[in-house]
Amino acid sequence: MLKMKDDDKILLAHGGGGKLTRDLIQKVMLKYFGNPILSPLKDSAVFELKGQHLAFTTDSYVVKPLFFPGGDIGKLAVAGTINDLAVVGAKPLYLSCGLIIEEGLELGLLQKVLESMQETARNAGVQIVTGDTKVVEKKGADQLFINTTGIGIIAPDHSLDESGPQIGDKILINGGLGEHEASIISSREGFDFESEIISDCAPLHDLIQSILRVSRKVKWMRDPTRGGLAATLNELVEGKSFGIRLQETQIPVKDAVKGICELLGFDPLYMANEGKVVVIVAVEDAERVLEIMKSHPLGGDSCIIGEIVSEPMGRVVMKTEIGGHRIVDMPLGEMLPRIC
């Protein structure tokens, strides 16, 4: 890790999901806030309250443009927080909505965002129960930021296997990489591709609950957002006594996403997703979980993309299409434009 000094400046990359984000969280946030509930750094805090296991998570959404193919900041804010609850095995129940609005925003635009939030929440069986609105001066914010914080409840018979990943466990994903980030970049840059790239932004709780219903051997789940699959898997293996081997030929990437990657020199492994979940499951349950994922509307392109291996410890490697091996490292800084 790099040293951090008081007169260092916060960089965009500190929010990018890579090494600098990890350093900021581990060396600064944990230094002040560290406690037994926060420190595991799961997607949601999990705690017991009067015999119930609750999950609690927060996320601020600062995406631009506010509207993009396949979604908008409102849908993203509701789906993203639902997903952070879902990956710890919780059924999402209640959300808060904190708006920070730049003076001068059109009311009609705000209403479209709120409508989208409500529709996404209603479809997911979740209620937005408390809110707050702040307005700041022109150029004091970028149009609209949304914080959503969520509460969910973990049913004992739908929880994860807390023993953690073991050598031989399989790694699954419910579809193609990079669709959210590619959609944002192409709508921001005004690219005119033949086929528009649609963000995968979607609430995953129903898919995830159906996985937990068919297997009690799900070891780990996470939605690979900022920093993509590469950052998510590197966070998992860092400092652990196991590694991950991916099979490049098995990793689904849509042609339209490949196209934008070739054009701009991006790597889908590092691109943000908003409707994907990485699932690690014991080998004996892998086919059953794959089957249930494939039968779900949000999992038609599900694949087994790799496995937990003993070597190299603490690293992610990928067997490439041409048969070699490539190390998939944690992203360092700004490999890609800021999109969240």
Give the per-residue contact string, 62-101, with a second copy (x = CB under 8 A; - = no).
x------------------------------xx-xxxxxx
Q: Quick one: which of 2, 48, 125, 133 contacts a second copy (CB under 8 A)?
A: 133
Q: Quick one: which of 2, 125, 129, 310 contacts a second copy (CB under 8 A)?
A: 129
Residues in 321-340 that interact with a second copy by CB under 8 A? 338, 340
The b/e string for 258-283 (b: 16+ C-beta within 10 A; e otherwise) is: bbbbeeeebbbbbbbbbbbbbbbbbe
Of the candidates 333, 323, 312, the residue with the CA atom closest to the CA atom of residue 270: 333
Interface segment toward a second copy; rule CB under 8 A; list 133-141, 161-169, 193-201, 242-250: 133-141
> Binding to a second copy by residue 47, rule CB under 8 A?
yes
Q: ∠ at Cα 276 (274, 278), nearest 5°?
A: 135
Answer yes or no: are the C-beta atoms of 153 and 52 closer than 8 Å: yes
Residues in 171-230 that interact with a second copy by CB under 8 A? none
Task: Say how far residue 227 (Cα) sits from the centre of its chain.
Answer: 9
Distances (CA, A) of 118 to 23, 29, 58, 126, 241: 36, 32, 18, 9, 44
Residues in 139-168 that interact with a second copy by CB under 8 A? 139-142, 145, 147, 149, 151, 153
Q: Quick one: which of 49, 239, 262, 324 contacts a second copy (CB under 8 A)?
A: 49
Task: Choose between 55 and 182: whose C-beta lies nearer to a second copy.
Answer: 55
Of the candidates 306, 284, 292, 137, the residue with the CA atom closest to the CA atom of residue 232: 306
Point out which residues pair with 316 in neighbouring strands: 244
Please tell me whether residue 235 adopts helix, strand or coil conformation: helix
Task: Choose between 97 and 289: whose C-beta lies nearer to a second copy.
Answer: 97
Instruction: Give the CB-side neighbour count of residue 68, counting CA atoms within 13 A.
Output: 30
Q: How many CB atoms lie under 10 A from the CB of residue 25?
A: 16
> Binding to a second copy by residue 21, rule CB under 8 A?
yes
Q: Minimum distance between the CB of residue 203 and a second copy, rounded to whole angstroms? A: 17
Task: Choose between 111 and 320: whose C-beta lies nearer to a second copy.
Answer: 111
Task: Choose between 86 and 251: whose C-beta lies nearer to a second copy.
Answer: 86
Interface segment toward a second copy; rule CB under 8 A; list 53-61, 245-253, 278-286, 307-315: 53-61
Q: Minimum distance between the CB of residue 11 and a second copy, rounded to whole angstroms? A: 6
Answer yes or no: are the C-beta atoms of 268 and 177 closer than 8 Å: yes
> Binding to a second copy by residue 316, rule CB under 8 A?
no
Q: Quick one: which of 1, 3, 35, 255 contacts a second copy (CB under 8 A)?
A: 35
| 307 φ, ψ (degrees, to nearest 5) | -150, 165
Task: Choose between 35 and 163: whose C-beta lies nearer to a second copy.
Answer: 35
Q: Minimum distance between the CB of residue 75 and a second copy, rounded to whole angstroms? A: 13
**Structure-block tokens of residue 102:** 């730049």
